[in-house]
Structure 1
């Protein structure tokens, strides 16, 4: 692991391999489903799109590629990368290996904000769904950190405060849904709240990808600060880092990424909890190397989770959050046990 971390050539090769795997995975994901599409059909469609020629596919099959499966796979990649980056940042800032947006209640706060805009019309003409999700995420962050500080401020108190915040905001979200929505809206909102990548628009895909990319760039610019935060606020301050300002910036970036993902795809849990540990095991602790790695792992992971979610009970589609929870809960238990042994 140390050799891999200190070898720029091997790191570059790893990243190129990750990008290639993502491209291959997206191409493979486009062929999985009842339409009978093959890789040759996907390639012909892409060639026709680039050259302006004829792919030989029917309009329906072209629509499946360009309006259904491709945006869904790209959204899965953007959401997976964003959630994994958020988890890595939170675990370093809070010095807690169990921190991620879902566990800390940030996703639940964002869900409440988004649902309040959609069903109650709170600020609908001013801030929109993503804006409501962002405000909800910020409020959830502030509440969790306040509760943790009042309880002693230790890393385990942060997780306990996050669990309390998650329950509170989930209950409030359910209350809003059941009191303000009709039966059809309730079913749709509850499916979305469990995490759904189905039927995204290209605008949603581009917005999510742009926010995730911008957030990753900010985190890379703050990589040295994140390395220092791993050893505590005092260590960061001794290295000349403006602790308060940097923490606010990174928490704000995390809240923004989470809010945009929640507004598009609902609350998808455990991605940010599990994958940063896999990235650290692969390339080490340095955030300059670890952050792009965890983004690639997150993108690859959620692409295949999405494929599994839409095929495991086909023709019905399983919420993505259900699949990530099935994978994430055992990993959460492993991390918890390891922490208890230290």
Structure 2
């Protein structure tokens, strides 16, 4: 008994049409009559033909049809963040017209990649999410392979397209809002400064190896240069609760406002404040960053900066498409939009 896989030519012969006609039925790139489509699909069903072999299409194009997306750290933690999920939606939409899929990769702190190796992963292009010294090592590997690269929220140099956010300016605007309410005793809650670092208070000489964290901290310090800063281990509500407990622990040194670098961290601070019996915003003002929907936050609505996460991902995908088509891809900087909620208020006067 033959085990040969049926081909499009077999389907065409059985349906009584040309191979090119049978092919467009599956590609959908050229209209055909309903009757012809039905004959071709019926023949395919009889022969057990499920569609063109994607490996053959890849050989014809000279591409794998795969775009690698590189994160630092565990992928599960990355996808807890709604900002990352929205960005990935935009990226997938942008590369879909190329019939391209996404391959998720990670680069750990010890310099290894989880799953497929960057040295042999079958990718046509790569999107690097974030910019750290560890991610920089990945860039060198990809450059050695001649693979086009786009960086999201990082700067890999003038020859690498980047998709960034106005992190410094946006965080400065939030800090200025809090300052306008009369708050002078504030604490800053940052995103991770380095994947290797444990959570805790930052010191003046600490190296901040994550671009987003550094830029948002710089923006806040333009308004509050001496404010103490606590670095979280990640962007999550649980991390925000732990950090909030540490920041608010001493009643004698308790700030009147906390500026968090993500909405998830801010939501955790709200919970920590509630545990201590503090009223928000009467006793404590809290700001976030991102503009996401946080489950269970009611009756609070965060004062925050809303970033266009989907558009960031789409811009990265469009840059990939441009480069694979032989064009130059420009860098793009998006602006955040201020949103005033009910978690900030003028400082209480005694």
Same fold? TM cut 0.5: no
Larger radius of gyration: 2
Q: TM-score scaled by structure 1? A: 0.25
Q: Which has the higher helix share?
A: 1
Q: Larger RCO: Structure 1 or Structure 2 (Cα < 8 Å, ≥ 6 residues apart)?
A: 1
Q: Which structure is higher in strand share?
A: 2
- After TM superposition, the score normalised by the length of structure 2 is 0.25
